[in-house]
Each structure stands twice: as C-alpha cells, then as structure tokens.
C-alpha cells in the first residue's frame, strides 16, 4: 500500500533532494512538504510536476492538519552557523517545537525520522566519533541553539520510542554540501564557491587547520532514503552517523577551490569563537545498518559538481550575497 509521508523543510537543501528521491518511488501515495522558506527556496521544487506532492507554506511548529502520516521526516532547521546564530530562538523552535508538533501527527505505529547533526559531538575529544561518544558541547555557547535543539530533539524522539512505541530513525549528518545550497548560506564549501565566483576573496576563518568530513549530498540522501524508508527491513532506529569519513582541513578546501577558479584568492580572517577543531564520523554502525552503502563521490569531484552548479546559478541571475 502507498505511504502517506510528510517532510518538514522539504524545500531546503537536503529536503528538496529527499523529495526528488521519494517521488521516484511507486510505494509513495502522498507527500506533504511543509516549509516556511526561511532557508528553503521555492526554486528547489519548481521542476516537480507530480500530483502526489502537496506543498504547504507554514512554520513547522504552527502547522496543523487533520491528516495522519505513516512517516514524518523532520528536516526543518537552518544548518549554517551564521543563519542559526542570527535567529537562535527560531532555530530551537523549528527543531524542538516542530518535533513536538509533528509526533502527534503519526498514525499508530508510524515512524518519525530526524536529521540530527555531528554538532551533538561539539568540539570532540575523540576521533573518529562513534555514536556512543557523548560529545564535548557548551550548552550556553554560540552554537548552542543548534547543537542543543538537535540534542533535545533526539532525546524527545528516543523518549517517544520508549514511552509511546513510535518508530524512530535518527541520523547525525556530517558537513553535507552540494547543489541547492543557498549562495548566501555561509557554510564553508558553498561560501568559498560563491565568493570565488563573485568577488574572488575566500574568507578563511583562523588558520584553516580545523578539519571536517565533507559529504556530497547525493551520497548522503542515498543513505537517508535507505535508512528512513518504511519498508527497509532495518530495525535499528539510531543514532546513526552518516557522512564521508575522509577528514580534510578547511584550508585544503579553500586552496582546492582557489586552484579551480582563476582569480580566486584566500583572505585570512579572525577565528570564529568555539569553532570545532575536528570532526570525523566513525561509520562502523553505518556499514552494518546500511550494507553496501558508502560515500562514492570524492570531495574533489563533489566540489567540482557544486562549482558547476553555482556557476550556472550565477549565470542565470540567482541572487548572491556572498559575505
């Protein structure tokens, strides 16, 4: 039987790729996308002509419906530090109050899937980070609206699983990048690409020796579809690290982009307070839960693909506001 699914944040970067994936499925009956277009963009879904898609413009915490869903995929949240730091209370509301609202909309035995983050590990003291690592997080620091609302939403879902018997799927994503990131998103790869293609100055914060593990969106969404989809046969609910476990410094990313775009250059900028020094997923559980899955797109290839996409956007007049 076809599934009734809701995706919050479905017009966003990861959400819109997820929508494309789910609409390829024959076992999907309806897909309600709820998005307030805070960081999402209508253009991300403009290509879709599928009558199963119902796009609702609403804050996720305010969304109301008489319908119930077999699965709810909660992706609504900014993920870029400058965006969530500008509106921290709104960020907490989207993640946590959004989840509190959504858990009431499941059919009995329904499933709630949630995109949590590697930020739950804070500035980690162990590397790579397994899911069992409890993190080194400052609950009143500059990143706390994001880190802590993701952590608390994880807590909410695990408690709902324990006390209400709902099924859950919780992933922790590591630095996802790729086409459909906003040009003014502000995260490293997209910011460097926008800057390289406009004014040419890539803002490198600090020494650039801080590391991340960069995951290309197609690989990540492939894992999400396998893990989230109702009939997958998977019994593990999470938390599940999903990412590419090749760890690369921010300076290396900036230098690589400089090598691809003539005229681009690096501008050294002061470090960001409490910028995590390192991040790398331990994928042991991921390999067990999603056998055969791995991040296939190398970072070099992913950055080139994203560069092509940004170039195309800029040529077609997308608004760029590269800081």
Check if the beta carbon of residue 62 is closer than 8 Å to that of residue 34. Answer: no
Q: How far is the CB of 162 from ligand UDP (least distance, A)?
A: 30
For residues 18 and 23, what is the distance between their CA atoms, to the nearest angstrom?
A: 9
Residues between 21 and 80 with contacts to ligand UDP, criterion CB under 6 A: 80
Helix axes 299-315 and 188-197, enclosed angle (nearest 10) = 50
Identify the active-site residue in 84, 121, 133, 146: 146
**Dihedral sign for Cα atoms in the order 79, 84, 88, 91:** negative
Which strand (E) or helix (H) includes residue 36?
none
Residues between 97 and 126 with contacts to ligand UDP, criterion CB under 6 A: none
Q: Of 45-53, 154-162, 203-211, 239-247, which part binds ligand UDP (CB under 6 A)?
A: 203-211
Rounded (10°) CA dihedral 15, 90, 147, 295? 10
The binding track of 229-268 with respect to ligand UDP, each residue x by CB under 6 A or -, is: ---------------------x------------------
For residues 172 and 17, what is the distance between their CA atoms, to the nearest angstrom?
A: 17
Q: What is the distance between the terminal CA atoms of the chain, rounded to a whole angstrom? A: 48
Would you say 114 or 177 has its CB closer to ligand UDP?
177
Would you say 167 or 247 has its CB closer to ligand UDP?
247
Using the rule CB under 6 A, which residue among 4, 17, 111, 187 binds ligand UDP?
Answer: 187
Check if the beta carbon of residue 260 is closer than 8 Å to that of residue 307. Answer: yes
Phi, psi for 275 (deg, rounded to 5):
-70, 120
Contact flag: residue 275 with ligand UDP (CB under 6 A): yes
Q: Of 37-45, 63-71, 107-115, 186-194, which part binds ligand UDP (CB under 6 A)?
A: 186-194
Active site residue 133: no
The residues of the shown chain that bind ligand UDP, judged by CB under 6 A, are 80-81, 175, 187-188, 191, 203-205, 210, 212, 250, 272, 275
Cite the active site residues. 146
């Amino acid at each position: 039987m076809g599934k009734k699914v809701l995706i919050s944040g479905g017009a966003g970067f990861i959400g819109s790729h997820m929508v494309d994936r789910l609409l390829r499925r024959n076992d999907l009956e309806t897909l309600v996308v709820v998005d307030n277009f805070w960081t999402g963009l209508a253009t991300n879904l403009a290509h879709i002509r599928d009558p199963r898609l119902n796009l609702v413009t609403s804050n996720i915490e305010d969304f109301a419906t008489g319908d119930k869903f077999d699965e709810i995929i909660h992706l609504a949240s900014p993920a870029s530090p400058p965006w969530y730091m500008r509106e921290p209370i709104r960020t907490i509301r989207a993640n946590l109050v959004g989840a509190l609202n959504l858990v009431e909309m499941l059919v009995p035995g329904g499933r709630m899937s949630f995109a949590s983050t590697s930020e739950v590990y804070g500035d980690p003291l162990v590397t790579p980070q397994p899911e069992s690592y409890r993190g080194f997080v400052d609950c009143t620091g500059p990143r706390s609206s994001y880190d802590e609302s993701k952590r608390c939403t994880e807590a909410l879902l695990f408690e709902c699983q324990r006390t209400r018997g709902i099924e859950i799927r919780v992933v922790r994503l590591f630095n996802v990048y790729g086409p459909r990131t906003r040009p003014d998103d502000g995260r490293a790869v997209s910011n460097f690409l926008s800057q390289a293609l406009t004014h040419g100055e890539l803002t490198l914060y600090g020494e650039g020796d801080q590391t991340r593990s960069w995951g290309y969106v197609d690989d990540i969404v492939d894992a999400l579809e396998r893990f989230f989809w109702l009939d997958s046969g998977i019994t593990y609910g999470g938390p599940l690290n999903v990412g590419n476990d090749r760890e690369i410094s921010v300076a290396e990313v900036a230098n690589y982009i400089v090598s691809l775009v003539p005229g681009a250059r690096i501008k050294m900028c002061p470090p960001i307070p409490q910028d995590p020094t390192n991040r790398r997923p331990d994928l042991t559980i991921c390999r067990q839960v999603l056998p055969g899955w791995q991040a296939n797109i190398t970072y070099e290839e992913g950055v080139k693909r994203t560069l092509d996409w940004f170039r195309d956007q800029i040529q077609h007049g997308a608004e760029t506001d590269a800081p």
